[in-house]
Every structure is written in C-alpha cells, then in structure tokens.
Amino acid sequence: MNIIAVTRKLWVVPQPGIEEFAELSARGFATVINNRPDGEDTWQPGSEAEERAAKDAGLAYVHLPVTSTGMTAEDARRFQETIDASPGPVIAHCRSGARSFFLWIMNGDLEGKRDEEVLALADELHLDPKAVAAKLAARRHPSAGENI
C-alpha cells in the first residue's frame, strides 16, 4: 500500500482493498475518507462495503464522492471539515489518490509548504505537475462561484 504523508494529520492512498482497512487501523489512522463515486470501476469495493470494513476495524468512515472535473470549493470545504473533526490521523483515497490530494490543495492547510514541496508530494502520487500547478494557482486566485 503506497501511503503518502501530506500533512501531520492527512495521508492519501490509492484505492485500498477491503482487507487493508484493519492494517490502516493498526497503523493508527482514525478516519477514512472515500472520494470515489460508487460504480466508478467494476473492481472497486463500493462505499457500503468500505463503511462495513472501516467500522469493523474501528475506523470512522466518510464518503465524499467527487469527480476530477467536478470538484467544487464546497467539496474541498467538507473534506477539510472532516479532517479537522477527526480525533486522529486521516487516510483519504480515490482511485489513485489524486482527487484526495487536489481537495487538500483546494481548501486544506498547506502547513507552510512551498509549491516545490507540494509538487514533490504530487510526484510521489505520479501526478501531472502542470495539473498540480494549476490547482495551486486556482487556490491562490479562485473566481467566485467557479469550480476550482
């Protein structure tokens, strides 16, 4: 499992298997955020199965589905509120970890990270640096009412 530490409280990971939820709990995570819409892939477990696995492992579970072209400032706000409300470390996932990472950029506390540090994290997720730079720029200069 390729877990990427983003902040002191947030990590992102590509889609975990149901059997990996117990491992996430054993590693000290408190909350799982699933950013995948159900039915995105035939092989994904789905939010109901993930919620059961999370609860069985003693993890809180939040389903905040987003698409890469439809993420809004409201989605990012809800993502950050979930992180802030968690009593401990949060693991967020989508198919690859990219959408979860972009939600953090859009509304998260960058903890003083410079753009170069954010781009280095993005490289660990194998993200297009141009897409990440665009999200960073949009975060600095969002237009009212637009998707970021």
The answer to whether residue 11 is domain-embedded is yes
The answer to whether residue 92 is domain-embedded is yes
pTM of the entire predicted model: 0.86
In this structure, what is the dihedral angle of CA atoms 19, 70, 127, 136, given to the nearest 10 degrees?
-130
Please tell me the total count of domains within the chain. 1
Per the listing, tokens 């989605």 go with: 75
Q: What is the mean pLDDT of the segment spanning 104-122?
A: 77
pLDDT tens digits for 58-112?
999 999 999 988 888 899 999 999 999 999 999 999 999 989 998 988 876 666 7
The CATH number of whichever domain residue 64 belongs to comes to: 3.90.190.10
- Note down the domain range covering 120: 4-140
DSSP state string for 50-107: HHHHHHHTT-EEEE----TT---HHHHHHHHHHHHH-SS-EEEESSSSHHHHHHHHHH
Tokens of 125: 């997720």
The answer to whether residue 25 is domain-embedded is yes
